[in-house]
Structure 1
Protein backbone atom coordinates (compact mmCIF):
# COMPACT_ATOMS: atom_id res chain seq x y z
CA UNK A 1 0.00 0.00 0.00
CA UNK A 2 1.23 3.47 -0.88
CA UNK A 3 2.12 5.17 2.38
CA UNK A 4 3.75 8.26 0.91
CA UNK A 5 0.98 10.29 2.57
CA UNK A 6 2.19 8.99 5.93
CA UNK A 7 5.79 9.97 5.24
CA UNK A 8 4.58 13.42 4.21
CA UNK A 9 2.74 13.86 7.52
CA UNK A 10 5.86 12.77 9.41
CA UNK A 11 8.02 15.27 7.54
CA UNK A 12 5.58 18.04 8.39
CA UNK A 13 5.51 16.98 12.03
CA UNK A 14 9.27 17.23 12.49
CA UNK A 15 9.08 20.87 11.41
CA UNK A 16 7.09 21.58 14.59
CA UNK A 17 9.21 22.98 17.41
CA UNK A 18 10.01 20.25 19.93
CA UNK A 19 9.46 17.24 17.66
CA UNK A 20 12.66 15.21 17.40
CA UNK A 21 11.32 12.41 15.20
CA UNK A 22 8.29 10.37 14.19
CA UNK A 23 7.97 6.59 14.39
CA UNK A 24 5.20 4.31 13.17
CA UNK A 25 4.29 1.88 15.94
CA UNK A 26 1.61 -0.58 16.96
CA UNK A 27 0.36 -3.41 14.79
CA UNK A 28 1.39 -1.70 11.56
CA UNK A 29 5.01 -1.59 12.67
CA UNK A 30 4.92 -5.25 13.71
CA UNK A 31 3.10 -6.39 10.56
CA UNK A 32 0.13 -7.78 12.51
CA UNK A 33 -2.33 -5.13 11.40
CA UNK A 34 -5.67 -5.47 9.63
CA UNK A 35 -6.97 -3.30 6.82
CA UNK A 36 -8.84 -1.07 9.28
CA UNK A 37 -6.07 -0.84 11.91
CA UNK A 38 -5.08 2.60 13.16
CA UNK A 39 -1.84 4.24 12.15
CA UNK A 40 -0.06 4.91 15.47
CA UNK A 41 2.51 7.66 15.12
CA UNK A 42 4.87 8.15 18.02
CA UNK A 43 5.77 11.83 18.21
CA UNK A 44 9.12 11.85 20.00
CA UNK A 45 9.63 15.29 21.46
CA UNK A 46 11.78 17.37 23.74
CA UNK A 47 10.12 20.24 25.63
CA UNK A 48 8.98 22.84 24.89
CA UNK A 49 6.53 21.30 22.43
CA UNK A 50 4.60 23.68 20.17
CA UNK A 51 1.14 22.19 20.63
CA UNK A 52 -0.49 25.19 18.95
CA UNK A 53 1.38 24.31 15.75
CA UNK A 54 0.30 20.68 16.15
CA UNK A 55 -3.34 21.72 16.47
CA UNK A 56 -3.05 23.87 13.36
CA UNK A 57 -1.50 20.98 11.41
CA UNK A 58 -4.17 18.57 12.67
CA UNK A 59 -6.92 20.94 11.54
CA UNK A 60 -5.32 21.24 8.11
CA UNK A 61 -4.96 17.48 7.72
CA UNK A 62 -8.47 16.62 8.93
CA UNK A 63 -10.34 19.63 7.60
CA UNK A 64 -11.78 20.45 11.01
CA UNK A 65 -10.79 21.54 14.49
CA UNK A 66 -9.19 18.54 16.19
CA UNK A 67 -8.27 18.17 19.83
CA UNK A 68 -4.55 17.85 20.42
CA UNK A 69 -3.52 17.71 24.07
CA UNK A 70 -0.69 19.21 26.01
CA UNK A 71 1.95 16.72 27.23
CA UNK A 72 0.44 14.73 30.08
CA UNK A 73 -3.08 15.27 28.79
CA UNK A 74 -3.85 11.56 28.64
CA UNK A 75 -2.10 10.58 31.84
CA UNK A 76 1.37 9.96 33.22
CA UNK A 77 2.35 7.22 30.77
CA UNK A 78 0.33 7.47 27.56
CA UNK A 79 1.25 11.17 27.87
CA UNK A 80 -0.96 12.80 25.24
CA UNK A 81 -1.50 13.47 21.56
CA UNK A 82 -4.50 13.46 19.25
CA UNK A 83 -6.90 11.14 17.45
CA UNK A 84 -7.18 12.17 13.82
CA UNK A 85 -9.04 10.97 10.76
CA UNK A 86 -7.05 11.78 7.64
CA UNK A 87 -8.55 10.85 4.29
CA UNK A 88 -10.77 8.26 5.96
CA UNK A 89 -7.84 6.70 7.85
CA UNK A 90 -7.52 6.74 11.63
CA UNK A 91 -4.19 8.29 12.57
CA UNK A 92 -3.20 8.54 16.24
CA UNK A 93 -0.55 10.95 17.43
CA UNK A 94 1.04 9.70 20.64
CA UNK A 95 3.61 11.78 22.51
CA UNK A 96 6.83 10.26 23.76
CA UNK A 97 9.36 12.34 25.66
CA UNK A 98 12.59 11.22 24.01
CA UNK A 99 14.71 11.94 27.08
CA UNK A 100 12.37 9.86 29.21
CA UNK A 101 12.71 6.99 26.74
CA UNK A 102 16.48 7.28 27.03
CA UNK A 103 16.34 7.21 30.84
CA UNK A 104 14.12 4.14 30.81
CA UNK A 105 16.50 2.41 28.40
CA UNK A 106 19.32 2.96 30.87
CA UNK A 107 17.13 1.50 33.62
CA UNK A 108 16.37 -1.54 31.46
CA UNK A 109 20.07 -2.22 30.96
CA UNK A 110 20.45 -2.14 34.74
CA UNK A 111 17.60 -4.64 35.20
CA UNK A 112 15.15 -2.12 36.64
CA UNK A 113 11.57 -1.42 35.57
CA UNK A 114 8.47 0.19 37.01
CA UNK A 115 4.74 -0.26 36.46
CA UNK A 116 2.58 2.85 36.25
CA UNK A 117 -1.16 3.33 36.65
CA UNK A 118 -2.78 4.49 33.42
CA UNK A 119 -6.36 4.56 32.16
CA UNK A 120 -6.94 1.85 29.58
CA UNK A 121 -4.16 -0.36 30.93
CA UNK A 122 -5.62 -2.60 33.66
CA UNK A 123 -2.31 -4.38 34.24
CA UNK A 124 -0.47 -1.06 34.27
CA UNK A 125 2.09 0.37 31.89
CA UNK A 126 5.44 -1.40 32.15
CA UNK A 127 8.13 1.21 31.65
CA UNK A 128 10.11 -0.87 29.18
CA UNK A 129 7.18 -0.66 26.76
CA UNK A 130 8.59 2.76 25.83
CA UNK A 131 11.80 1.11 24.71
CA UNK A 132 10.05 -1.73 22.90
CA UNK A 133 7.92 0.68 20.89
CA UNK A 134 11.00 2.30 19.42
CA UNK A 135 12.94 -0.96 19.09
CA UNK A 136 10.36 -2.50 16.73
CA UNK A 137 8.92 0.70 15.28
CA UNK A 138 9.41 2.06 11.77
CA UNK A 139 11.07 5.46 11.85
CA UNK A 140 9.44 7.81 9.36
CA UNK A 141 11.28 11.05 10.07
CA UNK A 142 14.44 11.66 12.10
CA UNK A 143 16.32 14.76 10.94
CA UNK A 144 19.21 14.47 13.40
CA UNK A 145 19.38 10.67 13.45
CA UNK A 146 18.62 10.58 17.17
CA UNK A 147 15.89 7.94 16.95
CA UNK A 148 17.94 5.72 14.67
CA UNK A 149 20.86 5.76 17.10
CA UNK A 150 18.64 4.87 20.04
CA UNK A 151 16.80 2.23 18.04
CA UNK A 152 20.05 0.51 17.13
CA UNK A 153 20.93 0.25 20.82
CA UNK A 154 17.55 -1.20 21.74
CA UNK A 155 17.40 -3.93 19.11
CA UNK A 156 18.98 -6.41 21.53
CA UNK A 157 16.88 -7.25 24.58
CA UNK A 158 18.97 -6.56 27.71
CA UNK A 159 19.80 -9.61 29.77
CA UNK A 160 19.41 -7.80 33.14
CA UNK A 161 15.82 -6.87 32.24
CA UNK A 162 15.07 -10.45 31.22
CA UNK A 163 16.38 -11.71 34.54
CA UNK A 164 14.37 -9.11 36.46
CA UNK A 165 11.04 -9.88 34.78
CA UNK A 166 11.49 -13.65 34.97
CA UNK A 167 12.61 -13.41 38.59
CA UNK A 168 9.64 -11.23 39.46
CA UNK A 169 7.20 -13.74 38.00
CA UNK A 170 8.82 -16.63 39.87
CA UNK A 171 7.86 -15.22 43.28
CA UNK A 172 4.91 -12.93 42.60
CA UNK A 173 2.74 -15.32 40.58
CA UNK A 174 2.59 -18.03 43.31
CA UNK A 175 2.11 -15.33 45.94
CA UNK A 176 -0.74 -13.67 44.01
CA UNK A 177 -2.56 -16.95 43.46
CA UNK A 178 -2.15 -17.90 47.11
CA UNK A 179 -3.70 -14.67 48.39
CA UNK A 180 -6.53 -15.08 45.87
CA UNK A 181 -7.70 -18.06 47.91
CA UNK A 182 -8.73 -15.70 50.70
CA UNK A 183 -11.29 -14.27 48.32
CA UNK A 184 -12.29 -17.65 46.94
CA UNK A 185 -13.55 -18.95 50.29
CA UNK A 186 -15.85 -15.91 50.50
CA UNK A 187 -17.12 -16.25 46.95
CA UNK A 188 -15.41 -12.94 46.05
CA UNK A 189 -15.21 -13.45 42.30
CA UNK A 190 -14.09 -9.86 41.74
CA UNK A 191 -10.98 -10.26 43.88
CA UNK A 192 -10.13 -13.70 42.51
CA UNK A 193 -10.51 -12.52 38.91
CA UNK A 194 -8.26 -9.55 39.62
CA UNK A 195 -5.55 -11.74 41.13
CA UNK A 196 -5.80 -14.19 38.26
CA UNK A 197 -5.55 -11.38 35.71
CA UNK A 198 -2.41 -10.08 37.37
CA UNK A 199 -0.85 -13.54 37.59
CA UNK A 200 -1.43 -14.18 33.89
CA UNK A 201 -0.08 -10.71 33.06
CA UNK A 202 3.10 -11.39 35.01
CA UNK A 203 3.59 -14.65 33.15
CA UNK A 204 3.02 -12.90 29.82
CA UNK A 205 5.75 -10.41 30.67
CA UNK A 206 8.08 -13.18 31.81
CA UNK A 207 7.55 -15.35 28.73
CA UNK A 208 8.20 -12.43 26.37
CA UNK A 209 11.28 -11.40 28.33
CA UNK A 210 12.57 -14.96 28.39
CA UNK A 211 12.33 -15.01 24.59
CA UNK A 212 13.91 -11.55 24.31
CA UNK A 213 10.77 -10.06 22.76
CA UNK A 214 9.37 -6.65 23.68
CA UNK A 215 5.72 -6.48 24.75
CA UNK A 216 3.86 -3.16 24.79
CA UNK A 217 0.53 -3.65 26.58
CA UNK A 218 -2.12 -6.19 27.53
CA UNK A 219 -4.03 -6.14 24.24
CA UNK A 220 -3.15 -9.26 22.28
CA UNK A 221 -0.29 -10.07 24.65
CA UNK A 222 -1.69 -13.44 25.79
CA UNK A 223 -2.13 -14.63 22.21
CA UNK A 224 1.31 -13.21 21.44
CA UNK A 225 2.95 -15.75 23.75
CA UNK A 226 1.94 -18.52 21.34
CA UNK A 227 3.84 -16.72 18.57
CA UNK A 228 7.12 -16.61 20.48
CA UNK A 229 10.03 -18.78 19.28
CA UNK A 230 9.84 -20.67 22.59
CA UNK A 231 6.09 -21.35 22.40
CA UNK A 232 5.03 -24.99 22.69
CA UNK A 233 2.41 -25.19 25.44
CA UNK A 234 -0.88 -23.61 24.21
CA UNK A 235 -0.35 -20.74 26.63
CA UNK A 236 -3.25 -18.63 25.36
CA UNK A 237 -5.83 -21.42 25.36
CA UNK A 238 -4.96 -22.47 28.90
CA UNK A 239 -4.90 -18.88 30.17
CA UNK A 240 -8.28 -18.03 28.68
CA UNK A 241 -9.86 -21.23 29.96
CA UNK A 242 -9.07 -20.16 33.53
CA UNK A 243 -11.26 -17.09 33.25
CA UNK A 244 -14.07 -19.04 31.58
CA UNK A 245 -14.17 -21.48 34.50
CA UNK A 246 -14.15 -18.99 37.39
CA UNK A 247 -17.83 -19.01 38.32
CA UNK A 248 -18.98 -17.19 41.45
CA UNK A 249 -19.09 -19.78 44.22
CA UNK A 250 -16.31 -20.75 46.64
CA UNK A 251 -16.14 -24.20 45.04
CA UNK A 252 -15.77 -22.99 41.45
CA UNK A 253 -13.34 -20.24 42.41
CA UNK A 254 -11.18 -22.66 44.40
CA UNK A 255 -11.18 -25.17 41.55
CA UNK A 256 -10.12 -22.47 39.11
CA UNK A 257 -7.25 -21.47 41.39
CA UNK A 258 -6.17 -25.11 41.73
CA UNK A 259 -5.92 -25.28 37.95
CA UNK A 260 -4.22 -21.90 37.75
CA UNK A 261 -1.55 -22.87 40.26
CA UNK A 262 -0.68 -26.04 38.41
CA UNK A 263 -0.58 -24.25 35.06
CA UNK A 264 1.52 -21.39 36.47
CA UNK A 265 3.97 -23.86 38.01
CA UNK A 266 4.38 -25.52 34.59
CA UNK A 267 4.99 -22.17 32.90
CA UNK A 268 7.48 -21.02 35.52
CA UNK A 269 9.34 -24.32 35.35
CA UNK A 270 9.84 -23.71 31.63
CA UNK A 271 11.44 -20.31 32.09
CA UNK A 272 15.18 -20.24 31.67
CA UNK A 273 15.93 -17.26 33.91
Structure 2
Protein backbone atom coordinates (compact mmCIF):
# COMPACT_ATOMS: atom_id res chain seq x y z
CA UNK A 1 0.00 0.00 0.00
CA UNK A 2 1.59 3.23 -1.18
CA UNK A 3 0.19 5.53 1.52
CA UNK A 4 1.41 3.69 4.63
CA UNK A 5 4.31 6.08 5.21
CA UNK A 6 2.06 9.11 4.78
CA UNK A 7 -0.54 7.68 7.18
CA UNK A 8 2.13 6.86 9.77
CA UNK A 9 3.59 10.38 9.56
CA UNK A 10 0.15 11.93 10.01
CA UNK A 11 -0.52 9.69 13.00
CA UNK A 12 2.62 10.90 14.78
CA UNK A 13 1.28 14.44 14.48
CA UNK A 14 -1.54 13.44 16.87
CA UNK A 15 -0.87 14.33 20.50
CA UNK A 16 0.15 11.24 22.44
CA UNK A 17 1.33 9.14 19.48
CA UNK A 18 5.06 8.46 19.85
CA UNK A 19 5.57 6.19 16.84
CA UNK A 20 3.93 3.78 14.42
CA UNK A 21 4.93 0.21 13.54
CA UNK A 22 3.68 -2.11 10.83
CA UNK A 23 2.90 -5.44 12.48
CA UNK A 24 1.27 -8.78 11.80
CA UNK A 25 1.78 -10.83 8.67
CA UNK A 26 2.65 -7.75 6.61
CA UNK A 27 5.68 -7.16 8.81
CA UNK A 28 6.87 -10.76 8.80
CA UNK A 29 6.32 -11.37 5.08
CA UNK A 30 3.76 -14.14 5.67
CA UNK A 31 0.79 -12.15 4.37
CA UNK A 32 -1.58 -12.93 1.55
CA UNK A 33 -3.04 -10.49 -0.94
CA UNK A 34 -6.09 -9.86 1.27
CA UNK A 35 -4.23 -9.50 4.58
CA UNK A 36 -4.90 -6.44 6.71
CA UNK A 37 -2.32 -3.75 7.33
CA UNK A 38 -1.89 -3.70 11.12
CA UNK A 39 -0.50 -0.41 12.39
CA UNK A 40 0.62 -0.33 16.01
CA UNK A 41 0.06 3.15 17.45
CA UNK A 42 2.56 3.46 20.30
CA UNK A 43 1.35 6.22 22.59
CA UNK A 44 1.67 7.89 25.93
CA UNK A 45 -1.43 9.22 27.68
CA UNK A 46 -3.28 11.40 27.16
CA UNK A 47 -4.00 10.20 23.64
CA UNK A 48 -5.97 12.67 21.51
CA UNK A 49 -8.63 10.26 20.24
CA UNK A 50 -10.71 13.13 18.86
CA UNK A 51 -7.85 13.97 16.50
CA UNK A 52 -7.54 10.29 15.57
CA UNK A 53 -11.24 10.16 14.68
CA UNK A 54 -10.90 13.26 12.53
CA UNK A 55 -7.89 11.76 10.72
CA UNK A 56 -9.75 8.46 10.23
CA UNK A 57 -12.69 10.31 8.71
CA UNK A 58 -10.41 12.15 6.30
CA UNK A 59 -8.58 8.98 5.24
CA UNK A 60 -11.72 6.92 4.68
CA UNK A 61 -14.15 9.58 3.52
CA UNK A 62 -16.69 8.82 6.23
CA UNK A 63 -17.26 8.32 9.96
CA UNK A 64 -15.14 5.61 11.56
CA UNK A 65 -15.39 4.28 15.10
CA UNK A 66 -12.11 4.90 16.91
CA UNK A 67 -12.09 3.74 20.52
CA UNK A 68 -10.69 5.19 23.67
CA UNK A 69 -7.72 3.32 25.17
CA UNK A 70 -9.02 0.11 26.72
CA UNK A 71 -11.94 -0.05 24.32
CA UNK A 72 -11.02 -3.49 23.00
CA UNK A 73 -9.97 -5.04 26.28
CA UNK A 74 -7.03 -5.03 28.69
CA UNK A 75 -4.34 -6.22 26.26
CA UNK A 76 -5.34 -5.39 22.69
CA UNK A 77 -6.24 -1.98 24.19
CA UNK A 78 -8.18 -0.31 21.39
CA UNK A 79 -7.97 1.41 18.04
CA UNK A 80 -10.01 1.45 14.84
CA UNK A 81 -10.80 -0.59 11.73
CA UNK A 82 -10.40 1.47 8.59
CA UNK A 83 -10.68 0.92 4.87
CA UNK A 84 -8.30 3.17 2.97
CA UNK A 85 -8.08 3.05 -0.84
CA UNK A 86 -9.76 -0.35 -0.78
CA UNK A 87 -7.33 -1.80 1.79
CA UNK A 88 -8.16 -2.81 5.37
CA UNK A 89 -5.97 -0.82 7.74
CA UNK A 90 -6.22 -1.54 11.47
CA UNK A 91 -5.04 0.92 14.10
CA UNK A 92 -4.07 -0.90 17.30
CA UNK A 93 -3.07 1.01 20.42
CA UNK A 94 -0.03 0.14 22.49
CA UNK A 95 0.79 2.06 25.66
CA UNK A 96 4.53 2.53 25.20
CA UNK A 97 5.32 2.77 28.91
CA UNK A 98 3.53 -0.54 29.42
CA UNK A 99 5.57 -2.08 26.59
CA UNK A 100 8.76 -0.92 28.34
CA UNK A 101 7.55 -2.46 31.62
CA UNK A 102 6.81 -5.77 29.90
CA UNK A 103 10.28 -5.75 28.32
CA UNK A 104 11.89 -5.29 31.75
CA UNK A 105 9.84 -8.24 33.01
CA UNK A 106 11.04 -10.32 30.05
CA UNK A 107 14.66 -9.56 30.95
CA UNK A 108 13.94 -10.78 34.48
CA UNK A 109 12.31 -14.01 33.23
CA UNK A 110 8.77 -13.04 34.21
CA UNK A 111 5.60 -13.06 32.13
CA UNK A 112 1.85 -13.09 32.64
CA UNK A 113 -1.08 -14.44 30.66
CA UNK A 114 -3.99 -12.03 30.33
CA UNK A 115 -7.61 -12.69 29.45
CA UNK A 116 -8.52 -10.95 26.20
CA UNK A 117 -11.53 -11.25 23.86
CA UNK A 118 -10.52 -13.00 20.65
CA UNK A 119 -7.55 -14.80 22.21
CA UNK A 120 -8.66 -18.20 23.56
CA UNK A 121 -5.19 -19.07 24.87
CA UNK A 122 -4.87 -15.63 26.47
CA UNK A 123 -2.36 -12.93 25.67
CA UNK A 124 1.16 -13.78 26.81
CA UNK A 125 2.59 -10.47 27.95
CA UNK A 126 5.90 -10.91 26.13
CA UNK A 127 3.99 -10.62 22.84
CA UNK A 128 4.30 -6.86 23.38
CA UNK A 129 8.07 -7.14 23.10
CA UNK A 130 7.80 -9.55 20.19
CA UNK A 131 5.62 -7.13 18.25
CA UNK A 132 8.34 -4.49 18.44
CA UNK A 133 11.07 -7.01 17.63
CA UNK A 134 9.46 -8.27 14.41
CA UNK A 135 7.65 -5.07 13.42
CA UNK A 136 8.67 -2.52 10.82
CA UNK A 137 9.01 1.00 12.17
CA UNK A 138 7.17 3.39 9.86
CA UNK A 139 7.34 6.62 11.84
CA UNK A 140 9.44 7.33 14.92
CA UNK A 141 10.35 11.02 15.27
CA UNK A 142 12.21 10.56 18.57
CA UNK A 143 13.93 7.27 17.70
CA UNK A 144 12.46 5.50 20.73
CA UNK A 145 10.82 2.65 18.82
CA UNK A 146 13.94 1.91 16.77
CA UNK A 147 16.02 1.78 19.94
CA UNK A 148 13.56 -0.59 21.61
CA UNK A 149 13.39 -2.72 18.47
CA UNK A 150 17.16 -3.20 18.51
CA UNK A 151 17.04 -4.33 22.13
CA UNK A 152 14.09 -6.71 21.74
CA UNK A 153 15.56 -8.47 18.73
CA UNK A 154 17.80 -10.42 21.13
CA UNK A 155 15.55 -12.92 22.88
CA UNK A 156 16.09 -12.77 26.68
CA UNK A 157 17.58 -15.96 28.10
CA UNK A 158 15.69 -15.63 31.43
CA UNK A 159 12.38 -15.48 29.55
CA UNK A 160 13.43 -18.46 27.42
CA UNK A 161 14.12 -20.57 30.51
CA UNK A 162 10.91 -19.44 32.22
CA UNK A 163 8.70 -20.46 29.30
CA UNK A 164 10.38 -23.85 28.95
CA UNK A 165 10.20 -24.49 32.69
CA UNK A 166 6.53 -23.55 32.69
CA UNK A 167 5.75 -26.10 29.99
CA UNK A 168 7.76 -28.84 31.70
CA UNK A 169 5.61 -28.77 34.84
CA UNK A 170 2.25 -27.40 33.72
CA UNK A 171 1.67 -29.42 30.55
CA UNK A 172 1.83 -32.82 32.35
CA UNK A 173 -0.13 -31.37 35.27
CA UNK A 174 -3.05 -30.11 33.19
CA UNK A 175 -3.28 -33.40 31.31
CA UNK A 176 -3.44 -35.22 34.64
CA UNK A 177 -6.26 -32.88 35.67
CA UNK A 178 -8.08 -33.77 32.44
CA UNK A 179 -8.23 -37.46 33.37
CA UNK A 180 -11.10 -36.91 35.81
CA UNK A 181 -13.05 -35.11 33.14
CA UNK A 182 -12.36 -37.89 30.65
CA UNK A 183 -13.76 -40.50 33.04
CA UNK A 184 -17.02 -38.52 33.17
CA UNK A 185 -17.16 -37.93 29.41
CA UNK A 186 -16.66 -34.19 29.95
CA UNK A 187 -15.54 -33.23 26.44
CA UNK A 188 -15.57 -29.52 27.23
CA UNK A 189 -13.11 -29.86 30.12
CA UNK A 190 -10.82 -32.30 28.32
CA UNK A 191 -10.65 -30.23 25.13
CA UNK A 192 -9.84 -27.12 27.15
CA UNK A 193 -7.00 -28.92 28.94
CA UNK A 194 -5.65 -30.23 25.65
CA UNK A 195 -5.75 -26.75 24.12
CA UNK A 196 -3.86 -25.35 27.09
CA UNK A 197 -1.25 -28.14 26.98
CA UNK A 198 -0.58 -27.70 23.26
CA UNK A 199 -0.31 -23.94 23.79
CA UNK A 200 2.30 -24.46 26.50
CA UNK A 201 4.35 -26.71 24.24
CA UNK A 202 4.06 -24.25 21.37
CA UNK A 203 5.36 -21.36 23.45
CA UNK A 204 8.15 -23.50 24.90
CA UNK A 205 9.35 -24.68 21.48
CA UNK A 206 9.44 -21.11 20.18
CA UNK A 207 11.27 -19.95 23.28
CA UNK A 208 13.83 -22.72 22.86
CA UNK A 209 14.45 -21.42 19.33
CA UNK A 210 14.45 -17.81 20.60
CA UNK A 211 11.48 -16.99 18.43
CA UNK A 212 8.67 -14.63 19.44
CA UNK A 213 5.05 -15.85 19.47
CA UNK A 214 2.54 -13.03 18.94
CA UNK A 215 -0.75 -14.99 19.15
CA UNK A 216 -2.31 -18.39 18.62
CA UNK A 217 -2.87 -18.08 14.87
CA UNK A 218 -0.47 -20.35 13.01
CA UNK A 219 1.61 -20.92 16.14
CA UNK A 220 1.30 -24.72 16.14
CA UNK A 221 2.32 -24.96 12.49
CA UNK A 222 5.25 -22.62 13.13
CA UNK A 223 6.33 -24.66 16.17
CA UNK A 224 6.33 -27.81 14.07
CA UNK A 225 8.91 -26.25 11.74
CA UNK A 226 11.41 -25.64 14.55
CA UNK A 227 14.47 -27.85 14.99
CA UNK A 228 13.53 -29.03 18.49
CA UNK A 229 10.00 -30.09 17.55
CA UNK A 230 9.24 -33.81 17.45
CA UNK A 231 8.50 -35.29 14.05
CA UNK A 232 5.05 -34.30 12.75
CA UNK A 233 4.44 -32.12 15.82
CA UNK A 234 1.80 -29.94 14.15
CA UNK A 235 -0.11 -32.85 12.63
CA UNK A 236 -0.05 -34.78 15.91
CA UNK A 237 -1.16 -31.75 17.91
CA UNK A 238 -4.06 -31.04 15.57
CA UNK A 239 -5.05 -34.70 15.50
CA UNK A 240 -5.63 -34.63 19.27
CA UNK A 241 -8.68 -32.45 18.75
CA UNK A 242 -10.10 -34.31 15.77
CA UNK A 243 -9.89 -37.66 17.62
CA UNK A 244 -11.53 -36.60 20.88
CA UNK A 245 -14.91 -38.24 20.42
CA UNK A 246 -17.38 -38.09 23.31
CA UNK A 247 -16.87 -41.30 25.28
CA UNK A 248 -14.56 -41.81 28.25
CA UNK A 249 -12.56 -44.27 26.14
CA UNK A 250 -11.89 -41.92 23.24
CA UNK A 251 -11.13 -39.03 25.59
CA UNK A 252 -8.64 -41.15 27.53
CA UNK A 253 -7.00 -42.29 24.29
CA UNK A 254 -6.55 -38.67 23.20
CA UNK A 255 -4.95 -37.86 26.55
CA UNK A 256 -2.61 -40.83 26.15
CA UNK A 257 -1.50 -39.40 22.80
CA UNK A 258 -1.10 -35.98 24.37
CA UNK A 259 0.99 -37.40 27.21
CA UNK A 260 3.34 -38.93 24.67
CA UNK A 261 3.70 -35.66 22.79
CA UNK A 262 4.35 -33.71 26.01
CA UNK A 263 7.02 -36.22 27.05
CA UNK A 264 8.81 -35.94 23.70
CA UNK A 265 8.80 -32.16 23.72
CA UNK A 266 9.93 -31.91 27.34
CA UNK A 267 12.73 -34.38 26.71
CA UNK A 268 13.94 -32.22 23.83
CA UNK A 269 13.81 -29.09 25.97
CA UNK A 270 15.69 -30.62 28.88
CA UNK A 271 18.60 -28.48 30.13
Partner of 1:46: 44
| Structure 2 contact 230–265 (Cα < 8 Å) conserved | no
**Any residues of structure 2 matched to 1:91-106 within 5 Å, and which?**
91-106=89-104
**Unmatched segments (≥5 aa) in structure 1:** none
**Unmatched segments (≥5 aa) in structure 2:** none
| Structure 1 contact 23–141 (Cα < 8 Å) conserved | yes
For residue 272 of structure 1, report the CA deviation from its aligned partner: 4.3
Residues 90-123 of structure 1 show CA distances to partners (whole Å, capped at 9, x for unaligned) of: 0000000001000000000000000000000111
For residue 226 of structure 1, report the CA deviation from its aligned partner: 2.4
Residues 8-30 of structure 1 show CA distances to partners (whole Å, capped at 9, x for unaligned) of: 10000000000000000000101
Change (3 A) 1:118 1:165: same
For residue 129 of structure 1, report the CA deviation from its aligned partner: 0.2
For residue 267 of structure 1, report the CA deviation from its aligned partner: 1.0
The answer to whether structure 1 residue 176 and structure 2 residue 148 are counterparts is no
**Any residues of structure 2 matched to 1:238-249 within 5 Å, and which?**
238-249=236-247
Partner of 1:124: 122
**Any residues of structure 2 matched to 1:25-104 within 5 Å, and which?**
25-104=23-102
Residues 185-230 of structure 1 show CA distances to partners (whole Å, capped at 9, x for unaligned) of: 0000000000000000000000000000000111111111123344
Over aligned residues, Cα RMSD in angstroms? 0.9
For residue 231 of structure 1, report the CA deviation from its aligned partner: 4.3
Aligned equivalents of 1:272, 1:262: Cα separation in 2: 15
Aligned equivalents of 1:97, 1:155: Cα separation in 2: 19
* Segments of 4+ moved more than 6 angstroms: none
Aligned equivalents of 1:14, 1:229: Cα separation in 2: 41
Partner of 2:192: 194
Aligned equivalents of 2:92, 2:154: Cα separation in 1: 24
| Structure 2 contact 66–80 (Cα < 8 Å) conserved | yes
Aligned equivalents of 1:205, 1:11: Cα separation in 2: 35
Residues 215-249 of structure 1 show CA distances to partners (whole Å, capped at 9, x for unaligned) of: 01111111111233444522110100111110000
The answer to whether structure 1 residue 219 and structure 2 residue 238 are counterparts is no
Partner of 2:10: 12
SS in 2 for 1:99: helix
| Structure 1 contact 22–142 (Cα < 8 Å) conserved | yes
Aligned equivalents of 2:249, 2:229: Cα separation in 1: 32
Partner of 1:133: 131
Q: How many residues align?
A: 271
